[in-house]
Structures are given as C-alpha cells and as structure tokens.
Amino acid sequence: MRSRRLLLPALLAFVATVRFLTPAFADTDFFGLPATPKPATPKAMIPPAAPKPTAPGTPAPAPQNIETLRNEFQQKRAAAAKPVVEWYRQQLTERALSGTAQNDAKMSAMIQSELKALDQFTLSNGDEKPPTELVTLRAEFIRRIDAALLPVFAAYRQQLEKTAREAASHGQADLALACRVESADLPANGASCAGLAILKASYGAGDKRMDAKKFLISHIVNQRIHITGGWGFPDVAPFSVKSLEVTYRFLGEVHTKQVSEGGVLALP
C-alpha cells in the first residue's frame, strides 16, 4: 500500500515533465483536453503617424509689367488680322485690274490710296466719298476684322484682370491700376473692336480744354472722319493757339492725333 502511495506522485511528476518538454501538449490542459484560451494582452495604443506636412505650393509668379502684356497682345492681334488684311488686299487688287477701275481714274486712285494705307494697317482718309462698291467692300473687311479680333480682345481683357489681381496681392498698386485702366479702354465684350471709335477728344490749349468726343462721334461717316477748319467750338482759351487732340481706335489699334486750330482732321 505504501509503495502505491509513493508511485502516484512519481507518476504525476513524470506526466508533468513530459508535457513541459513536448510542444504538442502546449495548448491542452493537464488531462490533454484543449485549454481555455487566455485573453490576449492588449497591445499598447500606438498613435497614428502624423501626416507629412504638405509641401508649400509654388508661389504665384510675380506679375508681368503692362508693356509686356501690351506687346504680347499686339503680336496676337496682328497675327489674327493678317489673313483678313490679305483677303482685302486681294479684293482691292482684283478691282484695280478690272475694266471698271481702269476706265475710272477716280476709282483707280482711291483703290491705290486704300492699298497704300493698308500697308500701315489702316485705311485711306481722303475727303472724297468713295464709290458704293468700295464702301460695301470696306464694311465687309471691317466685319471680318471684328470676327477675327474679338476673341483676342476677350483674352487680353481676362489677362489684364488676372494680372491686376496678382499685382494687388504682391503689393504692386501701380501695376494693378495700369491693368484696370487698360482694361477699361478696351471695347465692351461683344462690341466692335475694328470700327472707328473715338476714345478721348479735347479742344483748347494747356489746361483750358473742353471735351470734344461727342462732336467727333457725330462726324463719323463710313468709318471715317474728315473735318476742315472752323470746327465751331467756343473760345475756351482766348489769345492762345488751340488744338484738337484725339485718341481713337481703328482696326483694333489705338492711335493719337493732334490738329492745330483751322487744320483738317482726317481719321483714320
């Protein structure tokens, strides 16, 4: 009996040793049954990685100066108008070679004058009324120029407005103002940019001048103005030599002209 009592503890010790050394019994209890899983030890909370700082955006470029914008616009305007100018030149040349022009010295001279003026990207401004055929052809030319230049003017207006905003954000108040003034001088959206348009006009001497814009607009006939002396303005500057100063746009280009009192004003 005593030997049996000693045998049982020895047997239990042997089984425990075998379980400890045998991996197959790792997930079983003392009697070989599946062991109850132990609750997982919670892992320490790892804070999410901080987002990488966003690289600063490329700063807006410094605004261009007004002269650069104006030169780019003039180049685009000339490129857009060139095919229409060549069309008009061809039409005039064909009429110059026609029997009608060859038998009509007056019409032939007008065509030659128009061709010569076209080389300077303008039209003749003689005082004689051109024949109906040339008036109609000139009107079609201006209509085609309008169609070609309107998109160029619209894009230029957008560029000026954008540059004005950028200049203001850079503290360049002078450039912002120059862009707004330039934009204000452009024809309204959809308005003709090729026909003769009087932008500013004044009559007088020194700082004694009066507005003459409405007077000149009333004298536009067939996209031309031809006024001889005796303009009928009041004497705003007595005992001074007075003049008429005009800023106008024609074929999309701005010009300035000054005529002394008593002279002939011919536009374009």
pLDDT over threshold 70, residue 187: yes
Q: Are residues 154 and 252 in the same domain?
A: no
Kindly state whether residues 144 and 204 are assigned to the same domain.
Answer: no
Nearest in space to 141 (alpha carbons), one of 240, 28, 252: 252
Return d(Cα 89, Cα 227) in angstroms, integer.
27
Domain count, the chain: 2
Quick check: is 31 in a domain?
Answer: no
Residue 16 covered by a domain? no
Q: Are residues 73 and 166 in the same domain?
A: yes
Separation of alpha carbons 134 and 104, rounded Å: 13
Residue 187 burial class via C-beta count within 10 angstroms: exposed 0-12, middle 13-18, buried 19 and up: buried
DSSP H or E run through 2:
helix 2-21
Residue of 103, 85, 187, 199 lying closest to 144 (CA atoms): 85
228 in any annotated domain: yes
User: When comparing pLDDT for 176 and 21, which is higher?
Assistant: 176
70 and 168, same domain (yes or no): yes
Q: How confident is the model at residue 39 (pLDDT cuts 50, 70, 90)?
A: low
Asked which of 184, 209, 229 is the last residue of a domain, the reply is 184
**In the listed set 184, 209, 233, which residue is the last one of a domain according to the structure?**
184
Q: Sorting pLDDT into bands at 50, 70 and 90, what band is 152?
A: very high
Q: How far apart are CA 65 and CA 48, in angstroms?
A: 49
Kindly tell me if the per-residue pLDDT of 26 is higher than 90. Answer: no
Q: Note whether 168 and 205 are same-domain residues.
A: no
Mean pLDDT value of segment 242-246: 89
The pLDDT of residue 131: 77
Comparing 102 with 34, the larger pLDDT belongs to 102
135 and 73, same domain (yes or no) = yes
Residue 76: pLDDT over 90: yes
Query: Residue range 177-183: average pLDDT?
Result: 90
Residue 87 lies in a domain: yes
Identify the domain containing residue 158 by its residue range: 66-184
Q: What pLDDT, on a 0 to 100 scale, did the predictor assign at position 54?
A: 46
Comparison of pLDDT for 110 and 137, the residue scoring more: 137
What pLDDT, on the 0 to 100 scale, is given for residue 3?
52
**Domain for residue 143, yes or no?**
yes
Q: Among 131, 154, 184, which residue terminates a domain?
A: 184
238 assigned to some structural domain:
yes
| Mean pLDDT value across residues 48-59 | 52
- The verdict on 201 and 122 lying in the same domain is no
**Does residue 114 register a pLDDT over 50?**
yes
**Assigned domain for 24 exists:** no
Q: How many angstroms separate the CA atoms of 153 and 160, rounded?
A: 10
**Taking 70 as the threshold, does the pLDDT of residue 235 lie above it?**
yes
Q: Is residue 138 part of a domain?
A: yes
Beta carbons of 187 and 197 less than 8 angstroms apart: yes
214 and 179, same structural domain? no
Same domain, 179 and 123: yes
Q: Which residues pair with 245 in a beta bridge?
A: 202, 258
- Structure tokens, 176: 């912002």
Q: Within 13 Å of residue 184, how many CA atoms lie on the same side as its CB?
A: 8
The model's pTM: 0.64
Looking at residue 225, its pLDDT comes to 86
